[in-house]
């Protein structure tokens, strides 16, 4: 670097954000930013963008994993419900899955699934069954 100053923000950036920091934090941000050709603010913006990119990648990977474990199609859900119905003869089987935000989705008899979706999951008396 030859000491010239250049913007460390995108050309379309229009917002200024104030950040409270200790003198040590500010000094560290300035030093690290300087090592990368950025101002302290540019370094903070870069790290925030990096965090957001990593978070988006995490959500996408988590959603892909969830989708692999919880089939979204009604035909797959129907197959799973049919497999479990042998353990609960004469009872309707309703499947529940949660997305990465914890929002439940129910598959099964429409009236039961609709009712379960209308109440908090905390109100459902969950039980664990062991089958051989």
Q: For 15-67, how does the pLDDT look when each residue is reduced to its tens digit (9 = 90+)?
A: 888 888 899 999 998 999 899 888 888 888 888 888 888 988 887 777 666 66
Instruction: Give the residues across from 105 on adjacent strands.
Output: 97
Instruction: Give the residues across from 95 on adjacent strands.
Output: 107
pLDDT of residue 46: 85
- Hey, CA dihedral for 107, 113, 119, 121, is it positive or negative? negative
- Residue 75 confidence (pLDDT) above 70: no
- The Cβ of residue 63 has, within 10 Å, a number of other Cβ atoms equal to 13
- Residue 119 confidence (pLDDT) above 50: yes
Looking at per-residue pLDDT, the higher value among 5 and 114 belongs to 114
């Amino acid at each position: 670097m030859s000491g010239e100053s250049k913007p460390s923000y995108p050309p379309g950036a229009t917002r200024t954000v104030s950040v409270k920091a200790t003198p040590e934090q500010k000094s560290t941000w300035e030093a690290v930013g300087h090592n990368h050709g950025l101002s302290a603010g540019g370094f903070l913006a870069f790290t925030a963008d990096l965090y957001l990119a990593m978070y988006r990648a995490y959500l996408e990977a988590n959603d892909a994993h969830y989708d692999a474990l919880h089939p979204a199609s009604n035909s797959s859900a129907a197959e799973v419900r049919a497999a479990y119905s042998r353990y609960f003869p004469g009872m309707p089987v309703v499947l529940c899955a949660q997305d990465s935000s914890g929002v439940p989705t129910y598959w099964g008899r429409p009236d039961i699934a609709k009712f379960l979706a209308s109440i908090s999951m905390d109100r459902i008396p969950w039980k664990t069954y062991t089958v051989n």
